[in-house]
Amino acid sequence: MKKILKITGITLLIIVLLLVAAPFVFQSQIKDMARNFINNSVNAKVEFADVSLSFLSSFPQANVTVDDLVITNFAPFEGETLASIKSLSFDMSVKELFKKADDAPIKINAIQLNETLLTLKTNTYGDVNWDIAKVTDATVTKPEDSKNNFTLDIESYGIKNSALTYLDEQANIKMYITELNHSGKGRFSETLSELVTHTEANVTFSMDSTEYLSNNRVKLEALIDLDLEHSKYTFKENKALINNLPIEFQGHIQLLENGQDIDITFQNPGSTFKDFLAVIPETYSKNISNVQTTGNFKINGKIKGQVTETTIPTLDIKILSNNASFKYPDLPKRVDNISIDASILNTTGTIDDTYVDIKTLNFRIDKDVFKASASLKNLTKNMLVNAQLDGILNLANISQAYPIALKNELKGIIKANVNTSFDMNAIETNAYERIKNTGRVELSDFVFASADIVNPIEIYRAEINFKPGTITLDNFKAKTGQSDLDATGTINNLLGFVLSDKKLKGNFNVTSNRFVVSDFMIEGGTNQPVNQSTEPATSLKIPAFLDCNITVNAKTVIYDNIKLTNVKGALALQDEQALLNEVSSDVFKGNLTMSGSIDTRNKTPKFNMDLGMKNFDIAESFNGLDMLKNIAPVANALQGKLNSAITLSGDLGNDFTPIMSTISGGALAELLTTKVEPKNAKLLSALNGALSFIDFDNLDLKDLQTSLKFENGQVHISPFNLSYKDIGITVDGSHGFDKTMNYNAVFNVPAKYLGSDVNRLIGKINDNEVNKISIPITASINGTFTNPKINTDLTSGVKNLTQQLIEIEKQKLISSGKDKIKDIIGNAIGGNSASTKDSTTTKNNAPIKEAIKDILSGNSGSGQNNTKDSTESTKNPVKDILNLFGKNRKKKQESEQITVKDTVY
């Protein structure tokens, strides 16, 4: 016995070792087999990471696994991925491994696909991307002699955690199957066999832009007879579950050369109204197990005929429910008097003849009854719609009768009595003459709250009147926060907006007693300052669906801390932009006009605006508008009126205030009847202290005009002139929005303002020309508006004054000297006799020389007769000027006799 156990143990150990080692022996042969099969079987690019063999996972059979298999199409779908498979495994008999790659057919017993992404596509020319099998020449190779092919003698197969996309561009069909798990058992090698399958998946299906299934959960248990010789598949015992609606179906599908032949009938096995609730996805209907229902619900149908390029099967699908009701156990309201009579029909097999006929769709919640009927024809092309709505619907009752998850509060009563008839092409092309609407819709006591708005919107009353070709808003009264709205107007394409994602077009007249801009902004806006330098994380958007013109008339508009009154103008909203045209308002005791645009199409909103300001109160406007405060910070010291025209462009923050660092533009400003308060501006106070000859309290700014340009955070001011008494002032330079300054102010100062010493000199010179003398004094202004730094250059001004005074005194002395010389010479000549000519001439030359010397020395009379006191009181003004400015002349030079020609000062 011990010997037998020992032999058995050794044998099992050898077998285990062989099972472990064998994959390494056959690895090369398996890869060659896979490559050979691929190269001889498909017309596509196929790549895989690895091929492995195992005996342990599928013992006693062998398992071959291909990892990361990707199949990429050639033309006409070149470069598109047909399939991506995480792993593809085959189970087969061990003896199949001993066949060479080019030996007789290899049999596969089971196939398993994991995490497969499969895309099946038909283009507009009818080409399909899955037709990648290579065509064999039947005349050369007989079927029984064919090699290099697998025989699908499959006992089982499975697809796990996979997805399938089917796109048919010709028929405009889209189908998406996700979370697909499918398994089947059968033998495909036999002519007649039976296939048992189980399928679970989420299915979305649409045709011609109409979505019939939207991520609906589908389960299918199917028993199918396979007649492979005639390509006929018969459904024997089949049960499907669409969401929670059970469906039983039977019939067959047979493949033909030009299409398929279909004969399928189906119905729901039960007949209670709970089956209707089961059709609705569980996401919306919630748990219906405890829902109380009355009445019946029945769905049955028949699909019979051929699917070809020109035909579809005939359809006869009916949905019926009579006097039904339901009530959720946790909700207070019941929905009753439910009646449904609807059909999907096609009697010709032509796809364009398919239509939906909703004869009745009625229900009641409390005392509110709602009725509807409709017919939809020509579904696959230009759909024709004819519908009637009549009834009352209390919106607050919806969430009390049905477990709909409303994120936002919704209240209000809708009364509708509307007939409509149109075709979809008319809506898409705005062919209003083919849209026939009659009736009226009223909305009252409507309340809507959302996280996207600061305050709930309360619509007291809204009335929409439908007439052929025209929809009018006869009445609209609403309130949100502190704002009230009253509007009337016309709506051009309400159905296009509701049914086909068209923009809402119309013309509206809006009036308001009080409109607060912050009531319409997202709560919790930016805390950044007005002169923010960074882009906002999120920004307000002008809705893309709006394309309308609005005439505005508002008594009061509150924007930030600014109060505007009598706001009137035109506003156009389109393409996420607001276009303002001559919008005017009273503000800051003056008038403001605005024209321009606000563009929110990009992440950062932009604006471009022309502003006209007339008779603005300077103090109020520059304190109220941070933008003006940044453009002209010193204006807070001004009192009076302002006219200005400003052109601006730049970025907006997420509260629609300008980002100052991005602003560019220009301004032309005119000051009217202005008074200066230097104490309100540190810059003017500093100038007052630095320049003793000027008092900024009395600065004359009346009729001052100047132009400004601003870009890259800098304001550049063109030179402008102003005056203080008889002092002329010229100012130019620039400052930044960061309050830094770089300005020059040139003061043309009359000499009389330069102190008592200069005034005494002016009195001694006693000449009218002296009173006209002025000198330029430059003040360089740097630092910031809150910490100004002022430097003045008096040296050049004093030098200039010195030269002017000397020149005036020189000219005065020259003129006075000439007159005295003339008088002396005339007197001398007139007083001599002819008899004593020679002696007299010689004698009188000395007084003339002395007189000239006295004149040039500044004496009023003969040097011999002047006393000391008189000489002291009549000093030479030129000497005084030179002494005053530190340029003393030597006494030797004072007493020198010099000629006018040689005089140098």
Same domain, 586 and 694: yes
Same domain, 777 and 868: yes
- Note whether 668 and 705 are within 8 A (CB): yes
- Note whether 642 and 670 are within 8 A (CB): yes
- Give the H/E segment covering residue 309: none
Same domain, 788 and 680: no
Nearest by Cα to 702 from 657, 760, 638: 638
Is 80 exceeded by the pLDDT of residue 294?
yes
Other beta carbons within 10 angstroms of residue 638's beta carbon come to: 23
* 146 confidence band (pLDDT: 50, 70, 90): very low
Length of the chain: 905
Is 50 exceeded by the pLDDT of residue 897?
no
In a domain, 646, yes or no: yes
DSSP string, 885-903: TT-PPPHHHHH----TTT-
Same domain, 558 and 606: yes
Is 70 exceeded by the pLDDT of residue 70?
yes
Rounded Cα distance between 797 and 758, Å, is: 13
- Note whether 394 and 433 are within 8 A (CB): no
- Residue at which a domain ends, from 672, 698, 721: 721
Same domain, 689 and 792: no
Is 80 exceeded by the pLDDT of residue 291?
yes
pLDDT at 337: 94
* Residue with tokens 């709506």, as numbered in its chain: 491
* 774 confidence band (pLDDT: 50, 70, 90): confident
Q: In the predicted model, what is the mean pLDDT of residues 688-717?
A: 77
Classified as helix, coil or strand, 786 is: coil
Of 396-410, 530-544, 641-655, the least confident: 530-544
Other beta carbons within 10 angstroms of residue 358's beta carbon come to: 16
DSSP string, 440-476: EEEEEEEEE--TTSSS-EEEEEEEEEEETTEEEEEEE
Nearest by Cα to 307 from 375, 365, 253: 253
* 829 confidence band (pLDDT: 50, 70, 90): low
Of 195-209, 439-453, 629-643, the least confident: 629-643
In a domain, 567, yes or no: yes
- Residue at which a domain ends, from 721, 737, 767: 721
Q: What is the pLDDT of residues 705-730, one digit of tens each?
A: 888 888 888 888 888 888 777 788 88
Same domain, 714 and 776: no
Q: What is the pLDDT of residues 474-523, one digit of tens each?
A: 999 999 889 999 999 988 777 767 666 677 788 999 999 998 877 766 54
Rounded Cα distance between 759 and 752, Å, is: 6
Is 60 exceeded by the pLDDT of residue 625?
yes
In a domain, 585, yes or no: yes
In a domain, 643, yes or no: yes
Same domain, 674 and 790: no
In a domain, 107, yes or no: no
- Note whether 360 and 345 are within 8 A (CB): no
Of 68-77, 269-278, 444-453, the least confident: 444-453
Query: According to the per-residue pLDDT averaged within each range, which of 46-50, 203-207, 607-611 is highest?
Result: 607-611
C-alpha 779 chain-centroid distance: 48
Is the pTM value of this prediction over 0.75?
no
Cis peptide bond N-terminal to 76, omega within 30: yes
Who contacts 874 (Cβ-Cβ below 8 Å, separation ≥6)? 858, 859, 860
DSSP string, 808-836: HHHHHHHHHHHHHHHHHHHHHHHT--GGG
Classified as helix, coil or strand, 753 is: helix
Is 60 exceeded by the pLDDT of residue 31?
yes
pLDDT at 867: 41
C-alpha 653 chain-centroid distance: 12
Q: In the predicted model, what is the mean pLDDT of residues 244-267?
A: 88
Is 90 exceeded by the pLDDT of residue 117?
yes
pLDDT at 215: 82
Same domain, 538 and 683: yes
**3-state DSSP helix/strand/coil % of the chain, to nearest 5:** 25, 50, 30
Of 390-394, 469-473, 504-508, the least confident: 469-473
Nearest by Cα to 170 from 120, 130, 125: 125
Q: What is the pLDDT of residues 574-593, one digit of tens each?
A: 888 888 888 999 988 889 99
Same domain, 667 and 788: no
**Burial class for 225, CB neighbours closer than 10 Å (0-12, 13-18, 19+):** middle
Same domain, 767 and 694: no
More confidently predicted of 901 and 452: 452
Same domain, 700 and 777: no
Classified as helix, coil or strand, 697 is: helix
Other beta carbons within 10 angstroms of residue 631's beta carbon come to: 24
pLDDT at 277: 84
Same domain, 613 and 709: yes
**Helical ranges in 251-405 per DSSP H:** 274-279, 282-285, 395-401
DSSP string, 212-230: EEEEEEEEEEEEEEEETTT
C-alpha distances in Å from residue 447, one per residue of 108, 393, 410, 463, 465 = 66, 14, 6, 16, 21
Number of domains in the chain: 2
Q: What is the pLDDT of residues 369-378, one digit of tens each?
A: 999 999 999 8
- Note whether 77 and 44 are within 8 A (CB): no
Nearest by Cα to 76 from 40, 114, 127: 127
* 304 confidence band (pLDDT: 50, 70, 90): very high
pLDDT at 770: 63
In a domain, 234, yes or no: no
More confidently predicted of 502 and 887: 502
Q: What is the pLDDT of residues 45-56, one digit of tens each?
A: 888 888 777 755
Rounded Cα distance between 647 and 607, Å, is: 11
* 139 confidence band (pLDDT: 50, 70, 90): very low
Sign, CA torsion 533/536/541/544: positive
How many H-runs (helices) and E-runs (strands) does the chain carry? 15, 41
Range of the domain at 799: 759-830+840-895
β-bridge pairing 314-327 and 335-346: antiparallel
Of 185-189, 438-442, 765-769, the least confident: 765-769
> Residue 754 forms beta bridges with which residues?
none
Query: According to the per-residue pLDDT averaged within each range, which of 129-138, 240-249, 423-432, 822-831 is highest?
Result: 240-249
pLDDT at 27: 58
Rounded Cα distance between 482 and 518, Å, is: 9
In a domain, 70, yes or no: no
Of 119-133, 282-296, 600-614, the least confident: 282-296
pLDDT at 797: 64
Q: What's the token pair of residue 850?
A: 């002395």
Longest alpha-carbon distance in the chain: 191
Give the rounded percent of residues in the chain with a pLDDT score beyond 70: 70
Question: What is the average pLDDT score of the chain?
Answer: 76
Rounded Cα distance between 513 and 485, Å, is: 8
In a domain, 647, yes or no: yes
More confidently predicted of 769 and 344: 344
- The one-character DSSP state at 700 is B
Is 60 exceeded by the pLDDT of residue 321?
yes
Rounded Cα distance between 188 and 154, Å, is: 6
